[in-house]
Structure 1
Amino acid sequence: MRLFRRFLLFFVLAFLLPLATHAGWWIWQTHAPDWRRADWSSAKLLPAASVDPEATVHIFAARVGRWRGIFAHHSWIVVKEANASAYTRFDVVGWGAPVRVNHREADGRWFGNEPESVAEIRGAAAERLIPRIRAAVQSYAYAEPGSYLAWPGPNSNSFVQHVLTEVPELREALPPTAIGKDWRETGLFAGLTPSRTGLQASLYGLAGITVGWVEGVEVNILGLVAGFDLRSPALKLPGWGRVGI
């Protein structure tokens, strides 16, 4: 009983309290009432492809629409080969064929919400990784209509996490609010983190723990994540996401 009370106190302080405070902040913000009236235009985070000759890889994440933005981000991947005249964007959506290519602007807002840069790789390193990223996109197992599941996955963040797992040299971690990133089709998973810099145990992405240099320390309960970063010191809080440097 004492152990249960301690767990309950931990859950309230580390999970419910941050989530509740972020919900209070979120409802005071201005949001598009529906997807038709949302702003999906470029956030002008990327230069025109024609004026940037380098090969580049970008990972973006933006809050999802309406009430789900309280606790969740949508993520996607953008690549551009050297001297290419356009960017190529890969992401997964919840209607029709899940895997989309150039469904929106490469750096477009998502449901009106400004994207944030999760990762950027340029030059020769990007050139080496782009063929493997494209191969990872092709190998994603949940590309058929009806295979998308918003919670616990597979969803848009499960897709990007799949690419990060297949190309660990990207050496990046999705935001803690990327619900679905810890989903595993095998159910119970125990092994290396996607970056191969630590260990992870997960039960369908609904409960688990991760300890890695790239991923940091994360405790996952029902898809919500609390923990802290190791590489760049920061807290990871449900709702708020990464809070730090």
Structure 2
Amino acid sequence: MNKLIEAKDLNVNYGEEKVLIDVSFTIYENDFIGLVGENGSGKTTLVKALLGIIPSTSGSINFIGNKNKMTIGYLPQILVTGNIKFPALVHEIVGLGLLGNKKYPKKITKTDMEKIEDTLTKVGAIDLKNKRIGDLSGGQQQKVLLARALVNNPNLLVLDEPTSALDPKAREEIFDIIDKVNKMGTAILLVSHDVQSLMKRAKKIMLIDRKILYYGLSQDFNQNSY
């Protein structure tokens, strides 16, 4: 299996505070990694460092192969909102995931719309294409945001607590979609407090508390250590 990303001796400080200490790991094609840890353990910091949102203090993050062809989809930790006045339509929200690769003027083309519709179908939300996102339930909104992260066919999909604001039924639906996406060939890095669901679905578990305490197969992970 080919490597996608390799992090070595990664350190991140916020001022004088050490948030990540000597973190090293490798992400492979088709990996499904559940990232767990207590609040304040550095999970979101690790995700943001991986994505280049925040700088590392030292260490390295290497994208294996051609970095320009390496794409990452990202679903940040967002509180689901019921703002019914928000006017954007679902297909417009998903289309935002395509605009990063476009030169000005940025327009949604016929080919783009086909990608948007294919991705909405993949997440089970094609019937929502022309609805306002503010009119949708929390679970429906999260499907749309997941489609936005997927529309560019990323090599790696990174999700930060994607089910935390959802009811149990919607939570299972989102996990099912993520599982299906992984089986179709996209690597997954998923931050969650729902260790039980991760143990059922993720191939690997990464437990951190500033340092990596465990990184290995899910079946070998001792839940009592979390």
Alignment TM-score > 0.5, same fold: no
- Where is the helix percentage greater, Structure 1 or Structure 2? 2
